[in-house]
Amino acid sequence: MLSIKNNLMSANAARNLGTSYASLSQSVQRLSSGLRINSAKDDAAGMAVSELIRADVAQLNQASRNGQDAVSMLQTSEGATGVLDDMLVRMKELAEQAATGSYSSAQRTIMNEEYNQLADEITRVAQSTTFNGTSLLDGTTASVDFHLGSGAITFTTTNLDADHIAAGNSIKSSAATAQIIQHGTKYVASASDTYIDSSEIDTGNGVTNIKFNYAGKGAVTVDLTADAANGISLNDLVQKINTAAAADPDYTSPVAFAAYDSDYGGYRLEFKGFEAGAGKTFAFTSDATTLDAFNAGGDFNETQAAAAAGLNDLTTTSGAAQALTTVNSAIETKDTYRAKLGYTMNRLQSAVSVLGIQAENLSQAQSRISDVDVATEMAAMTRNNVLSQAGVAMLAQANQMPQMALKLLG
């Protein structure tokens, strides 16, 4: 029907042109953004799935970076253990050198000082080696959790400072105090039982001396007054006893020794007489000049904290021999921990590889949902472009139709 009031052909052409133009606009948006889903109205369900996957990919990528940071942290600690290795080797060399009898006490003192300097440096390295403020070598951090995606790898640390590196014992050259207590009255030690325990010490009248004699020989008094306040190391005590004995012509060789007692697990004061056989005894006199208390509750031994078992004193051959045992233990602890750092790094690197593969696969899955198929969309765009151009042409033709009615009216 020819009508001038309603141009239905024009309205129809305009509607179809609008549809074609909207489709063309969507194709242009997809091709320009590279995404099939640019808003929720494009594919509501697809967008929900795609965003969840995108979040998982972001988490996996961060977990991979966490693993790489953890490897860097362990590499820092492992590098420090290499430095500790060199120092422990030198300490073992010094202990072996001091264990032989061909060096003087002054020379052993120099060895002992170098040994102690190295022990102090081991502690300094253990305490100063940190990564982002966290140390894995000095016991301040018990364990570290390296979080990698859905789970964590827990790394338990070991304290490698000088006081703990040897299976919890100290590798330092000890200067612990000999504890001397009041106990009992007169006691005579047999030749077969020469370790002096707390039960073998007499009490005096406040005078800090020890007085002894051997098998009827002259009595020796050891003046310990200067040490009453702070105590005395076992080595210094042995030296003072032997110095006092040497001043008496009845004593021609040392009588006191710092002897290692394996049953006790440390060094103890030992008296040895000049004559072999049973019944050869030292007598500790009970009078006003006998030994008084330095510290309560201990034995006449070199005592130390549990964390510092083993004297490792290079000023004596026996102490140097003990140092060899302690340093060997320290090297074993360090090697075990260094190996642990190594295989944990390998584990972390494997985990990082797996995380990378997971992120790649999820990214591919997300791409299938959200990314535009360029070939398909380009074909759709060409079709929509042709339809839009045709719509414009037909709309122009439809708008000319009312002109035909004017001719009839004329």
> Same domain for 154 and 69?
yes
Q: Measured between alpha carbons, how far is residue 112 from residues 30, 160, 214, 254, 261 in Å?
A: 78, 20, 33, 22, 22
- Contacts for 120 with CB less than 8 Å, ≥ 6 apart: 162, 172
| Widest Cα–Cα separation across the chain | 164
**Domain interval for residue 87:** 52-173+321-359
> Same domain for 127 and 69?
yes
Strand partners, 134: 131
- Contacts for 129 with CB less than 8 Å, ≥ 6 apart: 76, 77, 80, 135, 136, 137
CA-CA-CA-CA torsion sign (6, 9, 13, 16): positive
> Same domain for 203 and 296?
yes
Q: Which of 174, 172, 175, 176 is nearest to 119 (CA)?
A: 172
Three-class secondary structure of residue 130 per DSSP? strand
- Contacts for 25 with CB less than 8 Å, ≥ 6 apart: none
> Same domain for 215 and 234?
yes
> Same domain for 208 and 224?
yes
Per the domain annotation, does 407 fall within a domain? no
Strand partners, 177: 233
> Same domain for 181 and 299?
yes
pLDDT, position 310: 46
> Same domain for 59 and 163?
yes
User: How is residue 311 written in tokens?
Assistant: 């004297």
> Same domain for 181 and 296?
yes
Three-class secondary structure of residue 22 per DSSP? helix
> Same domain for 294 and 226?
yes
Per the domain annotation, does 309 fall within a domain? no
pLDDT, position 128: 93
**Between vectors from CA 352 to CA 349 and to CA 358, what angle results, nearest 5°?**
150
- Contacts for 381 with CB less than 8 Å, ≥ 6 apart: 24, 27, 28, 31
Number of domains composing the chain: 2
Per the domain annotation, does 394 fall within a domain? no
> Same domain for 257 and 201?
yes
The Cα 24–Cα 29 span in angstroms is 9
- C-beta neighbour count of 264 within 10 angstroms: 14
User: How is residue 250 written in tokens?
Assistant: 């009845």
The Cα 57–Cα 55 span in angstroms is 5
The Cα 17–Cα 397 span in angstroms is 13
Per the domain annotation, does 150 fall within a domain? yes
Q: pLDDT of the chain along its 410 residues, tens only?
A: 666 667 788 888 888 888 888 888 888 888 877 778 777 777 788 888 888 988 889 989 999 999 999 999 999 999 999 999 999 999 999 999 999 989 888 898 899 999 999 999 999 999 999 999 899 999 888 899 999 988 899 999 999 998 889 887 788 886 433 333 222 222 233 333 344 443 444 334 444 567 777 766 777 888 777 766 555 666 677 778 888 888 888 887 777 766 655 555 555 666 666 554 444 556 665 443 333 333 333 444 444 433 334 467 888 887 888 889 889 999 999 999 999 999 999 999 999 999 999 998 998 888 888 777 788 878 888 888 888 888 888 888 888 777 777 777 76
> Same domain for 201 and 282?
yes
CA-CA-CA-CA torsion sign (363, 366, 368, 372): negative
Contact 47, 404 (CB under 8 A): no
**Between vectors from CA 150 to CA 144 and to CA 153, what angle results, nearest 5°?**
25
| Type and span of the H or E element at 273 | none
Per the domain annotation, does 341 fall within a domain? yes
DSSP 8-state secondary structure symbol assigned to residue 211: E
pLDDT, position 266: 54
Q: What is the CATH number of the domain that holds 161?
A: 1.20.1330.10
Region class of 187: left (phi > 0), else alpha (psi between -120 and 50), else beta: beta
DSSP 8-state secondary structure symbol assigned to residue 176: P
> Same domain for 189 and 260?
yes
- C-beta neighbour count of 79 within 10 angstroms: 11
Per the domain annotation, does 314 fall within a domain? no
Per the domain annotation, does 406 fall within a domain? no
Per the domain annotation, does 400 fall within a domain? no
Side-chain-side CA neighbours of 222 within 13 Å: the count stands at: 25
